[in-house]
Amino acid sequence: MSSSLPDVDFDNLHNLLGYHLRRAQVAVFKDFEAAVGSESITPGLLGALTIIGANEGLSQNMLADALALDRSTLVSVIDKLEARQLVKREKSPQDRRRHALFLTNDGREVLARTKQKVVEHEKKISQGMSPEERAKLIDLLRGLYK
């Protein structure tokens, strides 16, 4: 049994965007895991995979900027994807400081399969809202960081 009581007073918490943002993010992350768990891909890894797939040869710094991550953070993201042989780094011939990023064939397959699952996951989590509400939600969320 749960130990929750029906009468906990939330004070002003329920009027804080930050609070609902965290709750929503945790819930959506969990559902994402359940939906694509068999591929062992997290939202962060999928984001990187998606952008590499659509921009093969881009550098780590470009990818870090696109995902709004620090470049040191991106190193471990790429390390994980490379360890799973979904992505490969290649020295850029134009600028040998850079690593050009590419999907492997495995990476392309996993991305395709995962995309399919993510479409279903997104449909599931937004089943309680209309397409217009979903678009509005995305719009309002963008307003919070752009």
Site residues (vs a copy of itself, CB under 8 A): 2-5, 8-29, 32, 43-44, 47, 50-51, 53-55, 58-59, 61-62, 65-66, 68, 115, 118, 121-122, 125-126, 128-129, 133-134, 136-138, 140-145
Q: Give whichever of 75 and 125 is closer to DNA, judged by the CB atom.
A: 75
Residue 136 interface partner, choices a copy of itself, DNA, none, CB cut-off 5-8 Å depending on type: a copy of itself
**Residue 104 binding partner per list a copy of itself, DNA, none, with a CB distance cut-off of 5 to 8 Å that depends on partner kind:** none
Cβ neighbours of residue 79 closer than 8 Å, sequence gap 6 or more: none
Query: Contact, 74 vs 60, CB < 8 A?
Result: yes
Buried b (16+ CB within 10 A) or exposed e, 47-63: bbbbbbbeeeebbbebb
> Which positions from 65 through 124 interact with DNA, judged by CB under 7 A?
68-73, 75-76, 78-79, 89, 95-99
Q: From the list DNA, a copy of itself, none, which binds 87 (C-beta under 5 to 8 Å, kind-based)?
A: none
Query: Minimum distance from CB of 131 to DNA (Å)?
Result: 27
Amino acid at 96: R
Which segments of 37-104 does DSSP mark as H helices, in order? 43-54, 60-67, 71-83
Residue 81 · residue 99 · CB < 8 Å: no
SS3 52: helix
Residues forming contacts to DNA in the complex (CB under 7 A) are: 1, 3, 22, 26, 42-45, 59-62, 64, 68-73, 75-76, 78-79, 89, 95-99
